[in-house]
Amino acid sequence: MQLLPDAPIGHPSFELSEDEIDTVVDLLCRGAAAAHTFLTAGMLEVPITLHVKKAIRHLKKDLGLTNLEIGGEFELLNLSNDDPEVLGRIDITVKFLQQFGDEDNYLGVECKRVSHGDSTLNQRYVTQGVHRFASGQYGAGHHWGMMLGYVLKLPTAQLVAGIDERIRRTYGEDARLDLIDAHASALSMHGGELIQGKQGHIIRLVHIFVDMTPAAPDADNQAI
């Protein structure tokens, strides 16, 4: 996989190596491919993600990867007030050994359903996914974040083009979805940079689109 050059400037403890990013991409893509078997028509985002996380954890165990932990529905808290509030719940988090012990240090993965011809879902990918990284609600001060797009209806190119256009219009040309070498189990992968919050920190997002089209009904069942 070819990632964009020149690591962004951020908090040093939040930096991850290219090998670590590649490991997470591999787990996400292979986990999504394994979870695809269990999808049914109309399945919502949360149960899809539960299947993906379960598959990733099985895969991690099979590979003997003891240097990382997979988390889910991770609560991000605002502790600056006397009455702390939950800022959000990111879908999947990955922590490598050097990140243990710091609740703010993680690689965040936000999962969103997208679909050819469904402008509502595709818009939410940006407004309820990308925006949370851009605003610093997720991954504040981090070098990296990931978006996992569950493609419910093919083809992918047109829906990705629509998402890219909205991202460019909202966050500028540097945030565009540049095509990068895709994992064998991904439909396509893209990279882009976001200026995060008012501090001007740059976070780099990896966008991974995976096939989550529901299986066609069995012909015998249709005949009943």
Q: Please report which confidence band the pLDDT of residue 222 belongs to, taking 50, 70 and 90 as the band edges.
A: very low
Report which of 138, 120, 117 is spatially closest to residue 129, judged by C-alpha positions. 138
Q: Measured between alpha carbons, how far is 223 from 54 in angstroms, rounded to an integer?
A: 34
Tokens of residue 205, six digits: 């997002």
Contact criterion met (CB below 8 Å) for 209 and 160: yes
Q: Measured between alpha carbons, how far is 221 from 224 in angstroms, rounded to an integer?
A: 5
Helix ranges (H only) for the chain are 18-35, 45-63, 119-125, 131-134, 157-171, 219-223
Q: Please report which confidence band the pLDDT of residue 89 belongs to, taking 50, 70 and 90 as the band edges.
A: confident
Tokens of residue 1, six digits: 């996989």
Give the CB-side neighbour count of residue 122, counting CA atoms within 13 A: 22
Q: Which residue has the tokens 């999504």?
A: 32
Give the CB-side neighbour count of residue 160, counting CA atoms within 13 A: 22
Helix, strand and coil percent figures for the chain, each rounded to 5: 40, 30, 35
DSSP string, 107-125: EEEEEEEE-TT-HHHHHHH
Average confidence score pLDDT of the chain:
88
* pLDDT at residue 58 greater than cutoff 90: yes
191 membership: H or E segment, kind and range: strand 188-196
Model pTM score: 0.87
Contact criterion met (CB below 8 Å) for 114 and 92: no
Mean pLDDT of 47-54: 96
How high is the pLDDT of residue 12? 52
Mean pLDDT of 174-189: 97
How high is the pLDDT of residue 14? 86
Report which of 154, 148, 85 is spatially closest to residue 118, judged by C-alpha positions. 154
Q: Please report which confidence band the pLDDT of residue 217 belongs to, taking 50, 70 and 90 as the band edges.
A: low
Q: Measured between alpha carbons, how far is 159 from 52 in angstroms, rounded to an integer?
A: 22
SS3 call for 158: helix
Residues 116-153 have pLDDT tens digits of 999 999 999 999 999 999 998 899 999 999 999 999 99
Mean pLDDT of 99-103: 89
Contact criterion met (CB below 8 Å) for 189 and 183: yes
